């Protein structure tokens, strides 16, 4: 799918949700940590795993509407958009943390790189084993601080390499494998079930959503 077709798909499906979306039927954490509280206070309480079946209420991205086999190439396209942004942006802007609980653009880039890597690992695992369980992916604060010291070129190249790996893994999956299951045990945050296609949806959505975060343009697109 071309970039233009993808954009029109996203725009055409943008839902008219308010920014604060809650679902009283979903279990809430017993003891949300400070970061989760900050996210909740900023209206980011939407259960992100729902991206495997629904559009994101904040950015309108809807990867689950696409054929699963197209998600790898879409990840590569989105990594190229990150590369363009990282190449153009001012270094001080890239390392600036706007407010507590909001990441710098470089931290978002490193997080997207990690999500592409971790979720591709999980797709490989789910293709090899029946219903494996994987833990919450939650790097400690020190790691987030290290992210902000990353070299920009190195990080952009790594992000692109991880997207290409997702593309390669997806290209080699049997079509029926996309519906295989991986269980994500997130401890106090709940237990979620992903298909392999759902894992890929999450990875490509993170790449899109957090680029808007990094550019400071998420609010504008969600109105
Ligand atoms: Zn989004």
Question: What would the pLDDT profile of 49-79 be if each residue is shown by its tens digit?
Answer: 889 999 998 899 999 999 999 999 999 999 9
Q: Is 52 in contact with 180 (CB distance < 8 Å)?
A: no
- Per the prediction, the chain carries an average pLDDT of 83
> For position 102, what pLDDT does the model report?
84
Q: Which pLDDT band, with edges at 50, 70 and 90, does 36 fall under?
A: low
Tell me the residue range of the domain where 121 lies: 3-12+36-222
The pLDDT value given to residue 15: 34
pLDDT of residue 35: 59
15 C-alpha vs ligand 1 centroid, how far in Å? 11
CA of 217 to the centre of ligand 1 (A): 12
End-to-end CA distance of the chain: 26
Q: Is the pLDDT of residue 26 over 90?
A: no
If you measure from the C-alpha of residue 63 to the centroid of ligand 1, how many angstroms do you get, rounded to a whole number?
Answer: 10
Q: How far is the CA of 61 from the centre of ligand 1 (A)?
A: 6
Residues with Cβ < 8 Å from 90, sequence gap 6 or more? Answer: none
Mean pLDDT to the nearest integer, 136-142: 88
Assess if residue 144 is contained within a domain. yes
The verdict on residue 124 lying in a domain is yes
Q: From ligand 1's centre to the CA of 59, what distance in Å?
A: 4
Instruction: Report how far ligand 1's centroid is from the alpha carbon of 133 (Å).
Output: 25
Beta bridge partners of 193: 183
Banded model confidence at residue 48, pLDDT cuts 50, 70, 90: confident
Distance in angstroms (rounded) separating the CA atoms of residues 109 and 155:
7
CA of 16 to the centre of ligand 1 (A): 13
Residue 87 CA, ligand 1 centroid: distance in Å: 23
Mean pLDDT of the region 38-42: 57
Quote the pLDDT of residue 8. Answer: 35
Q: How remote is the CA of residue 146 from the centroid of ligand 1, in Å?
A: 25
Q: What is the CATH number of the domain that holds 131?
A: 1.20.120.450
Confidence of residue 217 (pLDDT cuts 50, 70, 90): confident
27 domain residue, yes or no: no
Strands 181-185 and 191-195 turn out to be antiparallel
Tokens 């407010």 belong to: 99
Q: Which two tokens stand for residue 20?
A: 């604060």
CB atoms within 10 A of CB 136: 12
pTM for the whole thing? 0.80
Structural domain tally of the chain? 1
Establish if 183 belongs to a structural domain: yes
- Kindly report the three-state secondary structure assignment for every residue of the chain: CCHHHHHHHHHHCCCCCCCCCCCCCCCCCCCCCHHHHHHHHCCCCCCHHHHHCCCCCCCCCCHHHCCHHHHHHHHHHHHHHHHHHHHHCCHHHHHCCCCCCCCCHHHHHHHHHHHHHHHHHHHHHHHHCCCCEEECCCCCHHHHHHHCCCCHHHHHHHHHHHHHHHHHHHHCCCHHHHHCEEEEECHHHCEEEEEHHHHHHHHHHHHHHHHHHHHCCHHHHHC
Determine, yes or no, domain membership for 23.
no
Residue 104 lies in a domain: yes
Residues 113-142: what's their mean pLDDT? 95
Residue 18 lies in a domain: no
Task: Flag whether 17 is in a domain.
Answer: no
Ligand 1 centroid vs 202 CA: distance in angstroms?
10
Question: Is the pLDDT at 221 greater than 50, yes or no?
Answer: no
């Amino acid at each position: 799918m071309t970039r233009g077709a993808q954009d029109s798909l996203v725009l055409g499906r943008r839902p008219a949700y308010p920014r604060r979306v809650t679902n009283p039927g979903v279990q809430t954490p017993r003891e949300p940590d400070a970061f989760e509280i900050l996210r909740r206070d900023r209206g980011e309480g939407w259960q992100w795993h729902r991206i495997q079946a629904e559009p994101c209420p904040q950015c309108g991205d809807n990867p689950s509407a696409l054929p699963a086999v197209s998600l790898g190439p879409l990840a590569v396209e989105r990594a190229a958009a990150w590369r363009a942004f990282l190449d153009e942006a001012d270094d001080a802007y890239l390392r600036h943390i706007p407010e507590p609980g909001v990441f710098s653009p470089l931290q978002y880039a490193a997080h997207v790189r990690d999500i592409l890597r971790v979720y591709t690992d999980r797709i490989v695992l789910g293709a090899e084993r029946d219903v494996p369980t994987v833990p919450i992916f939650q790097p400690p604060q020190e790691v987030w601080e290290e992210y902000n010291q990353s070299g920009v070129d190195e990080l952009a190249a790594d992000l692109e390499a991880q997207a290409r790996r997702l593309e390669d893994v997806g290209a080699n999956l049997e079509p029926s494998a996309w519906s295989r299951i991986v269980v994500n045990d997130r401890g106090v945050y709940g237990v979620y079930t992903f298909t392999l296609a759902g894992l890929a949806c999450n990875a490509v959505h993170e790449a899109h959503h957090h680029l808007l975060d990094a550019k400071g343009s998420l609010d504008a697109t969600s109105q």
